[in-house]
C-alpha cells in the first residue's frame, strides 16, 4: 500500500482530494490530509510517506521549504506540487530540487490522478533501476569473501541443500573447485595469539596465513580458504587436471591412485613449508591437521568433523603440530555418513531449544524423534552417546520451565525430580516418553498464552475502532496503538478473524451511521463527520455503495416503516 499525503492551506482542496483518492481506483492508497506545512511535517515525523501532493504557496513554510525537509527525512518520497500560479521561477526550483511534477490547479482532477499514478510508478522503477542493480552488483563483489566463507562452511557442516546445489553455487561464486571432483581438506589453527592482538589484527593475520598457504598450494592445486572460530582456517583442495594427452581412454585406475597419493604427499609436505613461513614471516605458531585422502563432496562433512576432533586431541601435545588423519578399520563412505549424522544431529540440539521457545511443536517433535532414534540405535555409540543426548536436553527444558514459571504447575502431573537424573528412567524409551510429555505440556501452555494474546489483540483493535470512528483510523495509527507494523497487523487480523481490518472498519462505520440515522437527532453532515468522513460527498458515496440507498433515502424508509408499524 502506498501512503499519500495531501497538503494545502485551503481546507476544501484537501477535503476534495481526499474524497477523490478515497474512491476505488487503480492504486492501493492510504491517504492523509494536512492543512499546513507544519501539520504535514508532524505527519511525516510519525510515519513513512511515499507521495506528497502539496501546494507551493502557503503561509509560513512554503512548499519548497517543506520539500527540503521531506527530502532530508524521506529521500525516496515523491513530491508533486500544485499551484494556482503559472510561475516559471517556481517550476525551475522544483526541477532543481528534484520535484516529481508541477501542476496548475486549473488542470483538473484527471491531471492530478495521472501525476500521482506516475509518481507511484516511479517508486517501483527506482527500486528496479539499473543504477541500483549495478550498486547491488558492486556490493556483491565486496561481500563475495563472506558469501564464499558462509557457503563452504555450510558444505563442511553437512548442509544437504548446500551439497546438492554445489555445481550452481561454485559457479555463481566464481570458485575454481569442481562439484564432481574429489576434494582434500586441511585444517589450520593459530596456536596462540601474541599479547596485544586486537580483533582486527587477528583477522588480518588469518588473511595473511591464507595468502601464504594459497601461494604455495596454488602452484599445482586449486585451493580455496575459509576462516571460522576466530583462530581456524579450512582449505578445500583439488588437483588441477593433467595436461591432455593422446590417450583417449582417460585416466586408468592405477594412474588415478598414483595421482591421489601424489596430491596427499604434496599437501602434507607443503604444510611444513607453510608452517615455517608463518613462524618466520608472521611470528605465529600454526598447527595443521590434514586428511588422509581426497574424498567425494558428500563425504567432506565427515572428514571435517574428524579433522576437528584430531586437532582438538592434539591440544596437550604442544604447538606447531602437523597431524595426519589416519582412518580406523571402519573406513569408507558408510562410516563417514554414520559419524557425520551423529554429530550433525547433536549439533541441532540448539535448534530444538529455538523450536521450544517459539512454540513450533511440529518442527520440535520431528527433530526430537530423530535425535532420540539416534540414541536408541545400538551401533550409534552406546551409553556414552545416550548420556550426551540426555544431558544436552536437560538445560533446554529447565530454561523454558523457568521462563514460563511452570515448575509448580508441572510438578502436579510430572515428577520433575527425574529431569536431571538419567538413571531414574528404566529405559531409553522411558526417557524419550518423559521428555515428550514435558514438551507437550510446555507447548500446551504456549498455545493457550498465544490464543489469549491474539484474543486481546483483536479486542484492543476493535475497541479502538469503535471509540475513534471520528478520529484517525489509518492503519498506521491503529498499528501504533497496538504496537504492530500496520502491514503485518492487517495480515495478522485477516489470519485470526477471516475478515480484513479495513472491512471491519467500514462495517463499524456503517453500523454507527445507521444507528445515528435511525435516531433522527443529527443531520447527515454531522453524521458523516461522526463516523470519520471528511466530506459529506464521501459519506454519501460510501453509504450508497453499502446499502443501495442514500442516507436520506434510508431515513425516509425507516420513517415509513415506523408509520406502518404504528410507532
Same domain, 285 and 181: yes
Does residue 138 fall inside a structural domain?
Answer: no
Same domain, 153 and 268: yes
pLDDT (0 to 100) of residue 111: 86
Place of cell 563425504: 299
- 565, pLDDT greater than 70: no
Same domain, 489 and 415: no
Same domain, 210 and 324: yes
- 3-class SS of residue 27: coil
Chain-centroid distance of CA 243 in Å reads 47
Q: Are 185 and 291 in contact (CB under 8 A)?
A: yes
**Structural element, H or E, at residue 15:** helix 11-22
Question: Lowest-pLDDT range, 206-215, 416-425, 442-451?
Answer: 442-451
Same domain, 40 and 179: no
Same domain, 395 and 502: no
Same domain, 320 and 188: yes
Chain-centroid distance of CA 312 in Å reads 35
Place of cell 513513512: 48
CATH number of the domain within which 558 lies: 1.10.10.60
In 135-265, DSSP assigns E strands to 184-190, 221-228, 232-239
- 127, pLDDT greater than 70: no
Chain-centroid distance of CA 436 in Å reads 30
Q: What is the pLDDT of residues 496-517, one digit of tens each?
A: 899 889 899 999 999 999 999 9
Written as nine digits, the cell of 561 is 416503516
**Is the four-CA dihedral 203, 205, 208, 209 of positive or negative sign?**
negative
Q: How big is the chain by its Cα radius of gyration, in Å?
A: 35
Does residue 339 fall inside a structural domain?
Answer: no
Q: Give the residue from 128, 157, 185 where a domain finishes.
A: 128
Same domain, 173 and 322: yes
Residues present in the chain in total: 567
Q: Are 223 and 235 in contact (CB under 8 A)?
A: yes
Pairing mode of beta strands 51-55, 78-83? parallel
pLDDT (0 to 100) of residue 187: 94
Question: Is 71 or 182 the better-scoring residue by pLDDT?
Answer: 182
The burial of 314, by beta-carbon neighbours within 10 Å (0-12 exposed, 13-18 middle, 19 or more buried), is given as: middle
CATH number of the domain within which 50 lies: 3.40.50.2300
Q: What is the pLDDT of residues 262-294, one digit of tens each?
A: 888 899 889 989 999 998 888 899 999 999 889
Cα gap 404→410, rounded to integer Å: 11
Q: What is the pLDDT of residues 301-310, one digit of tens each?
A: 888 988 887 8
Give the residues across from 53 on adjacent strands: 6, 80
Sheet holding 322-324, edge to edge: 221-228, 232-239, 184-190, 286-290, 322-324
Which of the four pLDDT bands, split at 50, 70 and 90, describes residue 248?
A: very low
Tell me the pLDDT of the chain averaged across its residues: 82
Does residue 457 fall inside a structural domain?
Answer: no
Tell me the percentage of the chain whose pLDDT exceeds 90.
24
pLDDT (0 to 100) of residue 331: 46
Q: What is the pTM of this model?
A: 0.51
Distant-in-sequence, close-in-space partners of 563: CB < 8 Å, separation ≥ 6 = none
Cα gap 21→30, rounded to integer Å: 9
Which among 352, 451, 428 is positioned nearest to 393, based on CA atoms? Answer: 352
Does residue 521 fall inside a structural domain?
Answer: yes
Same domain, 287 and 362: no
CB-side neighbour CA atoms (13 Å) of 20: 19
**Is the four-CA dihedral 256, 257, 261, 267 of positive or negative sign?**
positive
Q: Are 349 and 392 in contact (CB under 8 A)?
A: yes
Does residue 275 fall inside a structural domain?
Answer: yes
Same domain, 428 and 389: yes
Distant-in-sequence, close-in-space partners of 538: CB < 8 Å, separation ≥ 6 = 18, 19, 22, 528
Written as nine digits, the cell of 5 is 499525503
Domain that holds residue 432: 348-444
CATH number of the domain within which 169 lies: 3.30.70.270
Angle at 359 between CA 389 and CA 445, to 5 degrees: 100
What's the domain count of the chain? 4
Residue range 82-107: average pLDDT? 66
pLDDT (0 to 100) of residue 512: 93
Q: Residue 97: phi, psi to the nearest 5?
A: -85, 0
Same domain, 398 and 476: no
Same domain, 301 and 223: yes
**CA–CA distances in Å: residue 274 to residues 204, 209, 277, 314:** 17, 8, 5, 19
Cα gap 166→181, rounded to integer Å: 11
Helices (H) and strands (E) in the chain, counts: 23, 10
Amino acid at each position: 500500500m502506498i501512503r499519500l499525503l495531501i497538503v494545502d492551506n485551503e481546507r476544501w482542496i484537501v477535503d476534495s482530494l481526499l474524497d477523490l483518492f478515497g474512491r476505488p481506483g487503480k492504486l492501493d492508497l492510504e491517504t492523509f490530509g494536512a492543512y499546513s506545512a507544519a501539520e504535514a511535517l508532524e505527519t511525516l515525523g510519525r510515519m513513512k510517506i511515499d507521495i506528497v501532493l502539496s501546494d507551493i504557496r502557503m503561509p509560513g513554510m512554503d512548499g519548497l521549504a517543506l520539500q527540503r525537509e521531506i527530502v532530508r527525512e524521506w529521500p525516496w518520497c515523491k513530491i508533486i506540487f500544485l499551484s494556482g500560479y503559472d510561475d516559471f521561477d517556481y517550476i525551475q526550483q522544483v526541477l532543481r530540487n528534484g520535484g516529481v511534477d508541477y501542476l496548475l490547479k486549473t488542470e483538473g482532477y484527471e491531471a492530478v490522478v495521472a501525476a500521482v499514478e506516475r509518481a507511484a510508478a516511479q517508486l517501483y522503477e527506482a527500486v528496479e533501476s539499473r543504477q541500483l542493480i549495478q550498486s547491488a552488483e558492486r556490493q556483491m563483489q565486496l561481500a563475495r569473501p563472506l558469501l564464499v566463507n558462509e557457503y563452504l562452511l555450510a558444505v563442511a557442516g553437512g548442509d544437504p541443500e548446500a551439497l546438492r546445489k554445489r555445481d550452481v553455487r561454485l559457479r555463481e561464486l566464481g570458485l575454481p573447485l569442481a562439484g564432481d571432483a574429489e576434494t582434500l581438506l586441511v585444517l589450520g589453527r593459530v596456536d596462540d595469539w601474541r599479547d596485544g592482538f586486537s580483533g582486527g589484527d587477528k583477522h588480518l593475520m588469518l588473511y595473511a596465513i591464507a595468502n601464504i598457504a594459497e601461494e604455495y598450494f596454488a602452484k599445482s592445486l586449486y585451493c580455496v580458504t575459509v576462516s571460522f572460530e576466530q583462530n581456524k582456517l579450512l582449505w578445500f583442495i583439488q588437483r588441477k587436471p593433467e595436461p591432455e594427452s593422446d590417450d583417449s581412454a582417460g585416466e586408468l585406475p592405477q594412474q588415478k591412485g598414483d595421482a591421489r597419493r601424489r596430491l596427499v604427499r604434496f599437501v602434507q609436505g607443503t604444510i611444513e613449508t607453510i608452517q615455517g613461513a608463518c613462524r618466520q614471516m608472521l611470528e605465529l605458531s600454526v598447527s595443521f591437521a590434514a586428511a588422509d585422502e581426497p574424498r567425494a563432496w558428500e563425504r567432506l562433512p565427515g572428514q571435517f568433523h574428524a579433522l576437528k576432533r584430531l586437532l582438538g586431541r592434539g591440544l596437550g601435545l604442544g604447538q606447531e603440530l602437523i597431524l595426519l588423519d589416519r582412518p580406523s578399520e571402519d573406513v569408507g563412505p558408510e562410516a563417514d555418513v554414520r559419524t557425520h549424522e551423529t554429530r550433525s544431529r547433536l549439533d541441532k540440539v540448539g535448534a530444538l531449544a529455538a523450536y521450544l521457545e517459539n512454540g513450533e511443536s511440529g518442527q520440535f517433535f520431528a527433530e526430537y524423534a530423530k535425535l532420540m532414534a539416534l540414541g536408541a540405535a545400538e551401533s550409534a555409540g552406546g551409553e556414552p552417546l545416550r548420556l550426551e543426548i540426555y544431558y544436552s536436553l536437560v538445560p533446554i527444558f529447565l530454561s523454558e520451565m523457568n521462563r514460563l514459571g511452570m515448575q509448580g504447575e508441572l510438578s502436579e502431573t510430572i515428577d520433575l525430580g527425574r529431569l536431571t537424573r538419567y538413571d531414574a528412567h528404566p529405559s531409553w524409551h522411558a526417557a524419550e516418553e518423559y521428555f515428550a510429555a514435558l514438551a507437550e505440556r510446555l507447548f500446551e501452555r504456549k498455545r493457550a498464552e498465544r490464543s489469549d494474546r491474539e484474543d486481546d489483540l483483536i479486542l484492543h483493535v476493535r475497541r479502538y475502532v469503535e471509540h475513534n470512528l471520528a478520529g484517525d483510523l489509518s492503519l498506521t495509527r491503529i498499528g501504533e496503538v497496538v504496537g504492530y507494523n500496520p502491514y503485518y497487523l492487517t495480515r495478522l487480523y485477516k489470519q485470526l478473524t477471516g475478515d480484513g481490518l479495513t472491512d471491519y472498519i467500514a462495517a463499524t462505520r456503517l453500523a454507527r451511521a445507521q444507528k445515528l440515522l435511525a435516531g433522527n437527532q443529527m443531520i447527515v453532515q454531522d453524521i458523516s463527520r461522526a463516523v470519520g468522513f471528511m466530506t459529506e460527498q464521501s459519506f454519501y458515496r460510501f453509504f450508497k455503495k453499502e446499502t443501495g440507498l442514500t442516507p436520506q433515502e434510508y431515513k425516509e424508509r425507516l420513517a415509513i416503516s415506523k408509520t406502518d408499524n404504528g410507532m
